[in-house]
Amino acid sequence: MKQKLQAPIFLFGCPRSGTTLLQSLLATHPEIASFPETKFFLYGVAKYEPKRQKLGLISPRLKPHLKKYFNKEINRPEMLKYFPKIPFIDLYTRSFIKVLNILTIEAGKSLWLEKTPDHILYLDYIEKMLPKARMIHLLRNGPDVVASLYEVTHKYPKQWYKAWDIDYCLERWKESIEISMKHSHKENHILVNYDQLVADTPVIIKKICDFLSIEFDERMIEDYGKAAKYLSLEKGGRTVSQEIKKSGSDKFNKIFDESQKQYILDRISGFNLELNF
C-alpha cells in the first residue's frame, strides 16, 4: 500500500532569526523528515533574469547547485535522475517535490519540512506550486537580527558573498517582516516570535504542532541537538547551540556604537513583533 504523505511544511525567516533552531526542533518529530537547506528556489527561480523568467526557464545556477547538493551535501547523487532535461522551472519544481517525497517515504515519515530562509523571497511562487503547503514564519526583533547579520557577514564575507553594511542588514530584515505580515491572515500560515520560542519552548512547539495537525512529542525538546548536527551549516557561522538560549543577547550593544544603535532603532520603529498565539 502506497504511503500517503501530508501537505509539506516550509519554514521561512530573515537569516539569523533562529530558523535552524526551529527546524531542528520540528525535525526531531517522528513524523517529520527534513534536510539541510536546499536553496532550490533561490538558485532555480530566474527572479533577476527577466528573459528567462518570461519564458519560465530555470536560472543557469540551478543545475550546478543541485549537482553539488545531492552529491556532496546529502550524498544522494541518484536523486538527480528525477530532474528533467527540459529547463522549465515548473517541471523542475515538480521534480524537486517528487524527490523530497521519495526521501520522506524512505525515512518512514509522513511529511517533509524545507527550511531555507531566503525562500521567503519566493513565497508567492511556492504557494502557486504548492497551495496546500503549511508555512511557518519565524520573526525575530530587528536589533538582534541586524547585529547578528552584521557580525557573521563580516567574519565570513566569502560564505555570505560580501560583508553586509548596516543598511543592507536592515533592508533584509524589513523585507522579510513585510512579506510575513502580508501573509499573516492566511489559514495555512503561522507567525512565530523567536523570543517567545526560546522563552517558553514547549508551549510554542505545542501550538505549532496543533497548526500542523501532529501530536506534540517530548523528544522534540529533549533530542533536537541530534537533528541540529545534521541540519547546521558550519561554514559561514550557521550553527545551532546544543542548549536553547534565552533571549536577551547583548550583541547589539557590543557591536555598534551609540550613533549606530540609534540609527538602527530609528529605522525599525513601527515594526511590532508582539505576536500572540
Closest residue by Cα to residue 268 from 110, 144, 93, 112: 144
CA trace torsion 240, 74, 158, 242 (10° rounding): 10
Closest residue by Cα to residue 61 from 37, 77, 44, 74: 44
Q: How far from 7 is each of 35, 115, 255, CA to CA, in Å?
A: 16, 15, 42
What pLDDT does residue 34 have?
A: 96
Residue-range domain boundaries for the chain: 7-31+110-277, 35-109
Describe the strand order of the beta sheet including 111-115 as a list of residue ranges.
Answer: 32-34, 111-115, 9-12, 134-139, 189-193
Grid-cell match 549606530, residue found:
260
Burial 184-217 (b: 16+ CB within 10 A, else e): eeeebbbbbbbbbbbeebeebbebbbebbebebb
- Measure the CA–CA gap between 114 and 4, rounded to whole angstroms: 18
CA 64 to chain centre: 21
What pLDDT does residue 274 have?
A: 59
Sign, Cα dihedral of 197, 112, 234, 139: negative
Give 48-108 as a DSSP string: T-HHHHHHTBBPTTHHHHHHHIIIIIS--GGGGGGS-SS-BHHHHHHHHHHHHHHHHHHTT
Strand partners, 32: 111
C-alpha cell at 154: 563580516
Give 109-145 as a DSSP string: -SEEEEE-GGGGGGHHHHHHH-TT-EEEEEE--HHHH
pLDDT, tens only, 28-41: 999 999 999 999 99
* Contact between residue 269 and residue 143 where contact means Cβ atoms under 8 Å apart: no
**pTM to 2 decimal places:** 0.92
What pLDDT does residue 70 have?
A: 97
pLDDT, tens only, 139-152: 999 999 999 999 99
Rg, Å, the chain Cα set: 19
What pLDDT does residue 38 have?
A: 96
**pLDDT tens digits for the chain (277 residues)?**
456 899 999 999 999 999 999 999 999 999 999 999 999 999 999 999 999 999 999 999 999 999 999 999 999 999 999 999 999 999 999 999 999 999 999 999 999 999 999 999 999 999 999 999 999 999 999 999 999 999 999 999 998 889 999 999 999 999 999 999 999 999 999 999 999 999 999 999 999 999 999 999 999 998 888 888 878 755 555 555 555 665 556 889 999 999 999 999 999 987 766 554 4
Superfamily of 7-31+110-277 according to CATH: P-loop containing nucleotide triphosphate hydrolases (3.40.50.300)
